[in-house]
Amino acid sequence: MPLNPVISKLSGKLVVLASASPRRLEILSNAGLRFEVVPSWFKETLDKSLFKHPCEYAVETAKQKALEVAQRMPFKHLKTPDIVVGADTVVTVDGLILEKPTDKQDAYRMLSRLSGKEHSVFTGVAIVICRDKNSSVTDYKVVDFYEETKVKFAELSEEMLWEYINSGEPMDKAGGYGIQALGGMLVEYVRGDFLNVVGFPLNHFCKQLGSIFNSPPASPAHKIKRDLDEAWTLVNKTTNGDVELLENVKDDSLTSVQEQNVMGLEFAKCNRQDVPHSIISLLDGFKVSKTLFTASKLKVFDVLNTPGGLTLEEVAGQINASLLGTERLLEAAVSLGLLERVRQEEISVYRNTERASRFLVTDSPVSLHGYILHCNDMVWPLFSHLESAVREGTSQHERAFGKKKEDVFQDVYYSKDEVKIRFMDAMHSIARVTGKDLATAFDLSCYKTACDIGGCTGAMAYEFTKAHPESSVTVFDLPQVIEMRRHFQPKENDERVSFVAGDFFKDDLPKADLYILARVLHDWSDEKLHVLLSKLCKMWTPGCGLLVSEILLDEERRRPSRALLQALSMTEGKQRSTAEYSALLDKHGFTLKHVKHTDNLLDAMLFVKEDPNDKRTLLGCSSASIETAELE
């Protein structure tokens, strides 16, 4: 890739470095780049075992860091950057990723592993380009890459190791050394970009920027090829992370790419303005859903959760279905990117794609299986009566399930044990996917006791105690739910989580420092919520907090469509925007302190009641959150 001039191309653009690393800052400012530093809040906690190669982990972490900042800035800083740059450096040796040492012993273990050996340093870099700054929707194009540099350490004596460790230098550095300072002594040779080892591959970065800003205008054919090669993500400005593609298409040449992203549908990759691809993909949406539901119900992804994959005949035998029907289902699943078909020794076998193994296999920790079955069995029938729902302005539980509903939980979901378990399983699977992000959305360290109101199976509570080991959580839910909780208990009993049965419209709530309302408020009308919120106020003491988690609509109530589609089958509830939730809670004296668009399925808001005598309500939980408040 030739190197073209780049720094001048960036003049006048708001470039943001999503990293607090002084070394990256120095490298980029020495190169003459003018930029702002907005450290990313993305926590480097991706599961490394899910990545085939360390460089993929570094690139994904860099991408998440940069996207988090790109999506946060329009709200928290009230400006949209042109470019956000994220980076993550990892050191690998003997197939292990070495991170920053936790203490001196850990530094000792790392450095002795590196002693006398060659290791690799990978830096993943993501360049997020934000477009359409003036419209209500910002779309993000992500260009990412990585650079590898080989470094060989000399044999290090014990004294050398300890002298270096005692200098304090290893502690904040990946792999436990800094090549640009004392750590330079340890290095025999470097093969590749030296600055990559320091923390940022400047040369590769400039080449990438050059190709972004100097590329000739693409012909339609080239453009579509390039678009197919690169991942475009159109992200709603106010919902961060909810991929909202179909309505935002401004350039028809992108349409097929976006449709593939959103639906997994493989449409003709052509640039025909007279072919209504996006409408057809909307039209086919129900076939996609039902294919996923059926494959999940027949446990196709569990059956294929075997290393070598299975032949068509083997799958058909295991799911007890016809050969022809199974073949059609598997072929459709392949076309949607849920399965792969590969040839092994002259025969074709099917196997799960990575995302199917992760999200569709029943016993994966983040399996959506329960939620998928709930959608098939409970939501699909409601949607088959959508026309009546629209005409009548009511939900269709009676038509779909023959049940008169006063209260959808008591009268529909909990009317039979089988339906109840399925509903609870659905809640459980979403809470397991979102729980950690919600529990760590803000600094909640000052809250020692929490009460998860409508906490269902306790999945969120367990994630909360994992994230805050000093805390305990009471799950408060209807007696019919609490009696079933053991079905969902984790293998290792967590005594910090307890369960209390009650009705939040009638009974007193347990006492706690932090109340959690996750996916509860959207189910109810403002009038009903005033009853629940009055109960909450009764138990409230100064310094308490309220963590609310919902899908937040943008203020124009246009997106995310996932929330608005869900509203179509609601009974008495409604989806609300941040301002609408804030106004609702304000009537009971709650003040919105922080909002976080988590880039997961649910967003989070933290409410407090302002009390001039209570430091926690003014400043947040700790000095860390004071810093956060100042950064904002």
Ligand X SMILES: C[S@@+](CC[C@H](N)C(=O)[O-])C[C@H]1O[C@@H](n2cnc3c(N)ncnc32)[C@H](O)[C@@H]1O
- Specify the residue, 85 or 518, whose C-beta has the smaller distance to ligand X: 518
- Specify the residue, 139 or 425, whose C-beta has the smaller distance to ligand X: 425
Contact 447, 471 (CB under 8 A): yes
- Specify the residue, 205 or 607, whose C-beta has the smaller distance to ligand X: 607
Give the CB-side neighbour count of residue 416, counting CA atoms within 13 A: 6
Extract the tokens encoding 332: 């459709």
Amino acid at 577: S
E-assigned strands of 94-229? 96-98, 118-131, 138-153, 187-191
Which neighbouring-strand residues pair with 146? 124
Could you tell me the sign of the dihedral formed by the alpha carbons of 305, 308, 312, 313, in that order? negative
Please give the residue ranges that form the binding site for ligand X (CB under 6 A).
Answer: 409, 427, 430-431, 454-456, 460, 477-478, 481, 503-505, 518-520, 523
- Specify the residue, 30 or 410, whose C-beta has the smaller distance to ligand X: 410
Amino acid at 510: P
Shortest Å distance, C-beta 372 to ligand X: 15
- Specify the residue, 70 or 439, whose C-beta has the smaller distance to ligand X: 439
Shortest Å distance, C-beta 340 to ligand X: 32
Shortest Å distance, C-beta 373 to ligand X: 15
User: 74: exposed, middle or buried (C-beta count within 10 Å: 0-12, 13-18, 19+)?
Assistant: middle
Return d(Cα 600, Cα 550) in angstroms, integer. 11
* Helix intervals (H) in 253-385: 255-263, 277-283, 285-297, 300-303, 312-319, 323-335, 354-359, 369-374, 380-383
- Specify the residue, 302 or 523, whose C-beta has the smaller distance to ligand X: 523
CA 509, chain centre distance (Å): 31
CB atoms within 10 A of CB 128: 28
Angle at 595 between CA 430 and CA 509, to 5 degrees: 65
| Cβ within 8 Å of residue 294, ≥6 positions away | 329, 376
Under DSSP, the state recorded for 215 is: P
Contact 618, 626 (CB under 8 A): no
Shortest Å distance, C-beta 471 to ligand X: 17
From residue 627, alpha-carbon distances to 39, 622, 623 in Å are 12, 9, 6
Shortest Å distance, C-beta 408 to ligand X: 8
- Specify the residue, 478 or 595, whose C-beta has the smaller distance to ligand X: 478
- Specify the residue, 66 or 551, whose C-beta has the smaller distance to ligand X: 551
Extract the tokens encoding 123: 């830096």
Extract the tokens encoding 235: 């992200």
- Specify the residue, 519 or 593, whose C-beta has the smaller distance to ligand X: 519
Shortest Å distance, C-beta 602 to ligand X: 8
Measured in Å, how far apart are the chain's first and last C-alpha atoms?
39
Give the CB-side neighbour count of residue 616, counting CA atoms within 13 A: 19
**Catalytic (active-site) positions:** 88
Shortest Å distance, C-beta 528 to ligand X: 9
| Cβ within 8 Å of residue 198, ≥6 positions away | 23, 27, 178, 179, 180
- Specify the residue, 127 or 430, whose C-beta has the smaller distance to ligand X: 430
Shortest Å distance, C-beta 110 to ligand X: 40
| Residue with token string 């708001």 | 14
Shortest Å distance, C-beta 293 to ligand X: 20
Contact 100, 107 (CB under 8 A): no
Could you tell me the sign of the dihedral formed by the alpha carbons of 431, 551, 18, 58, in that order? positive
Shortest Å distance, C-beta 437 to ligand X: 12
Extract the tokens encoding 75: 């709200």
Amino acid at 389: A
- Specify the residue, 309 or 370, whose C-beta has the smaller distance to ligand X: 370
Among candidate residues 464, 416, 420, the one with its CA nearest the CA of residue 444: 464
Residue whose beta carbon is closest to ligand X = 454
E-assigned strands of 513-602? 514-518, 545-550, 591-596
Look at residue 243 and give its three-state secondary structure. Answer: strand
Shortest Å distance, C-beta 386 to ligand X: 20
| Residue with token string 């800094």 | 178
